[in-house]
Structure 1
């Protein structure tokens, strides 16, 4: 018969073994070695990135309507703005940013650059809303030869889309009369360059495609939604540093709660949402969008928390096709939608599907 002392020792050994097994399991998933916080652990500060684009409308609305402040409580919100995903990735991986709204291509790149360690996909935000707009005399892909087309940044979501589309249409990126020159320009510079004739078009996110069409006379050669099944693809998603997610799940939950509230506000009252987005854009850029531009931009996007995870293996392959990466990124463990789905369940809404990207050895 065991003595109480021996039983306690055996129980202690079993507990240690269980904890060790759990630690190994987490390590095997490629997650951060940072100690996990309790479910309600909150950070003193949340450093959040987003872009002054209509495709980042949920972030802009949440800032302008005080939704982050309401949900974060004692946590201080510090925001940073970027022109394109590469800049946000560098800030995130450099530790000067905790979470960011970002394009799908740079989100994958951040995961790849850190060997699957540093970031996790925690929500979707905006789908669609990207177009190849060109001078009116360009009416076919063939007529792009010898022309210059702009994208926001090398390796960003629209840059990858263009570089994938070109060879599919018998075109090559490069210099010369038989190639298409790609110019990587900030969106405002693309607008000015198009009006001055220095570029012939751009593969751009909203509202910049709408600005070129309505304010500069461009026409649409390709609406990217026509290239995807059911016309759906993720343009903007939310990613967070893995270490921050593990240490401060309470803060990430608050971020997601504000995010969902912003999505609900946008979809229930688009007119007010447009006012808030314009208000935010004026603060960030000094300019508001004309009514027809913001109306067109909003008509080209869908807003919701689903990151459409099933598209990410194709997006990873597109980066290879575009010459951004040498091989498709293994996306196993990329998504962690646990907190998002908990918030959706609490609101009586259906969960979103991680499409296997939340599992070691999953799709990818």
Structure 2
């Protein structure tokens, strides 16, 4: 029996367990004189429907760092796992735009970078969304033009990031601060940071209007192969063992509470996609490229996608142990509010699937349920 069929057979059991737990919890609260309140977080099963959702609206980016989403769609893995639930998708350029859609209820879940996930959680007081799995690590770097060979050469330059407050934007601002440079969120300071859509960044760099950019793959490799840039900072070099989260799977808290079976089915497809990437390295470039072509109208050059995939790893571990550092970086960059991220992770459904298939559970790092 495949991981997909095993997970699907457990949906009814999970729903029943959640409903039973909800009934017991409600009875205990009633006897103690404590009236339960409506909840929007991961413990809201007490008031939630256990029916699968009629539709799941999923966001993702047309980036190699979102390959689990691309493969899951291209290979039909999500559709197989979701069954009768309709899957609709929306493509974003960067995290803040995806968060805006999630907060407005326009999408239910999204593949996204860690920093926008942190931002929405803190700004909502822990009520907006929860990370239910990791997706990708690595695959981000600062690439620059000829003549820039060290941090000392960056004063007065103009660098791009995908969007203000996105994961690469925070990484660049934090790294520049460590190098002694001042920046601000309006493009001022010792180094000018201009948040720019990725495709436009490539064009502006080719025209000489930008000196470099901190980007995710495949845009790092595109600037190198198509525009002659070189890597000044590989973000992997800034983290212990080179492991840092680039993409996680974030689900709207209300949707998670109301439709745990559907979220489990999404995770089932996600696990199948990550497994497919691990088991089919030779086919992966072709499948990912087909998905990228469908979204952008043009496939990547073989050299670009080969290089990009060499710098990205795919895993369902969200590397929760790095998130306190990411919070500190966001505060230093001036792109997020101070606040707690306790409860950001809800890895219970993921770990249930992993353990059922004989795998090791992943850690929430003390920042949520696991």
Residue 323 of structure 2 corresponds to residue 341 of structure 1? no
Aligned to 2:176: 166
Relative to structure 2, which stretch is displaced further, 164-173 or 298-307?
164-173
CA contact (8 A) 2:134 2:248 kept: yes
Tell me by how many angstroms 1:89 deviates: 0.3
1: CA distance, partners of 2:223 / 2:246: 19
Q: Secondary structure at the match of 1:287?
A: coil
Aligned to 2:47: 35
RMSD: 2.5
2: CA distance, partners of 1:221 / 1:14: 54
- Out of 266, 272, 287, which is 2:277 matched to? 266
Q: CA 1:153 to 1:177, structure 2 compared with 1: closer, same or farther past 3 Å?
A: closer
Q: CA 1:94 to 1:345, structure 2 compared with 1: closer, same or farther past 3 Å?
A: same
Q: CA 1:346 to 1:15, structure 2 compared with 1: closer, same or farther past 3 Å?
A: closer
Unaligned ranges ≥5, structure 1: 1-11
Superposition TM-score, scaled by structure 2 size: 0.88
CA contact (8 A) 2:45 2:257 kept: no
2: CA distance, partners of 1:229 / 1:216: 30
2: CA distance, partners of 1:127 / 1:263: 12
Aligned ranges for residues 238-277 of structure 1 at < 5 Å?
238-277=249-288
Tell me by how many angstroms 1:276 deviates: 1.0
Relative to structure 2, which stretch is displaced further, 121-130 or 271-280?
271-280
When Rg is computed on C-alpha atoms for both structures, the one with the higher figure is 1
Aligned to 1:318: 329
Tell me by how many angstroms 1:97 deviates: 0.6
- Out of 147, 158, 164, which is 1:137 matched to? 147
Aligned ranges for residues 278-293 of structure 1 at < 5 Å?
278-293=289-304
Unaligned ranges ≥5, structure 2: 1-22
Tell me by how many angstroms 1:28 deviates: 11
- Out of 207, 210, 227, which is 2:218 matched to? 207
1: CA distance, partners of 2:209 / 2:237: 28
Aligned ranges for residues 95-106 of structure 1 at < 5 Å?
95-106=105-116
Q: Secondary structure at the match of 2:135?
A: strand
Aligned to 1:8: none
Superposition TM-score, scaled by structure 1 size: 0.90
Tell me by how many angstroms 1:15 deviates: 6.8
The alignment covers a number of residue pairs equal to: 346
1:20-76 CA distances to partner (integer Å, 9 max, x unpaired)? 7797599697865982233xx310000000000000000000000001111111100
1: CA distance, partners of 2:43 / 2:104: 17
Aligned to 2:80: 70
CA contact (8 A) 2:161 2:168 kept: yes
CA contact (8 A) 2:41 2:253 kept: no
